[in-house]
Amino acid sequence: MSNTQHCGRIAIVGRPNVGKSTLLNGLVGHKISITAPKPQTTRHAILGIHTVGANQFIYVDTPGLHREQTSALNRTLNRTARASLNEVDVVLFLIEAMNWRDEDQQVLDLLRHLTIPVLLLVNKIDRIPDKDELLPFLAEVSQKHAFAAVVPLSARRHKDHQRLEEILADQLPQAPHIFSEDEITDRSMRFLAAERVREKLTRALEKELPYALTVEIESYTEEPERDVISALIWVEREGQKKIVIGEGGSMLRRVGQAAREELVELLGKRVHLQLWVKVRKGWSDDERALLSLGFGDS
């Protein structure tokens, strides 16, 4: 048996809300990237690492590519997603079964110049009762580009994760592993804590408000028995601050409890989580503010 190691970086790209973060978490076997049924949930390029024997898969989850670039935040997210295509070995282009959109075509147009393998992943096939209906769609989309493979799957199914990695293993270059076998991400606990809080806010708040806020960890102290975390929730207007806090602090308590429970599970010890809400007018359309808040750090 050969002991030759294979290691490669694999970008996961696609339009917003198509299942990229769900796929990353499934492939890695841990919740690395937050998920929510709203576009623009992923705002950073996030590495998820999965080592299986001689193969190390380094997945790069990316923000969904947006057609409209009306704000500095949207422009930054698009730059982050495009930058993820540099210095990767393989691209996974994720679309939704039976639902090719103009935004999918926009992503494909960005991929056409690449000389590395591009795999087309057709997600959410578990939602199609009659699989015969899927065949004409697969035939149609497979003609849109010289894909290295077309893989129908459900981003939630473990057997599909295994099958995809069997296909990907043939695309990995021969190279030593970059990360140790037990590493699952390159992101810090500060980052993961901030993202857990933002996920709970995104799921709890309605309409446009999740896009007008971000979360910054003010302090993170590791103690033997517990971690003490103080997080700032930045919004753009006073009215938004009142909504995030909720009547008598109800919304903030709800979000804090949900985030704390996940962090306890992640860390395996008690967590003391403090949440504060502050107004920073126009942060999402201010390039300097975005940089100070950690955007565009991929």
Please tell me what DSSP assigns to residue 85.
T
pLDDT, position 1: 46
pLDDT, position 43: 67
Q: Tell me the two tokens of residue 248.
A: 């008598």
pTM: 0.86
pLDDT, position 173: 96
293 backbone dihedrals φ, ψ, rounded to 5°: -95, 5
| Residue 58 and residue 9 in contact, taking contact as beta carbons nearer than 8 Å | yes
pLDDT, position 208: 65
| Residue 153 and residue 122 in contact, taking contact as beta carbons nearer than 8 Å | yes
Return the CATH architecture of domain 189-292: 2-Layer Sandwich (3.30)
pLDDT, position 293: 66
How does strand 270-279 pair with strand 149-152? unpaired
Please tell me what DSSP assigns to residue 101.
-
* R_g (Cα) of the chain, nearest Å: 20
What DSSP letter does each residue of 14-39 carry, written as one string?
Answer: -STTSSHHHHHHHHHTS--S---SST
Instruction: Confirm or reject CATH 3.40.50.300 for domain 6-169, answering yes or no.
Output: yes
Residues of the chain with pLDDT under 70: 1-2, 38-43, 63-74, 76-78, 80-81, 208, 290-298
**71-114 pLDDT tens trace:** 666 676 667 667 777 789 999 999 999 999 999 999 999 899 89
Which residue intervals of the chain bear CATH 3.40.50.300?
6-169
- Longest CA–CA separation in the chain, Å: 64
Which residue intervals of the chain bear CATH 3.30.300.20?
189-292
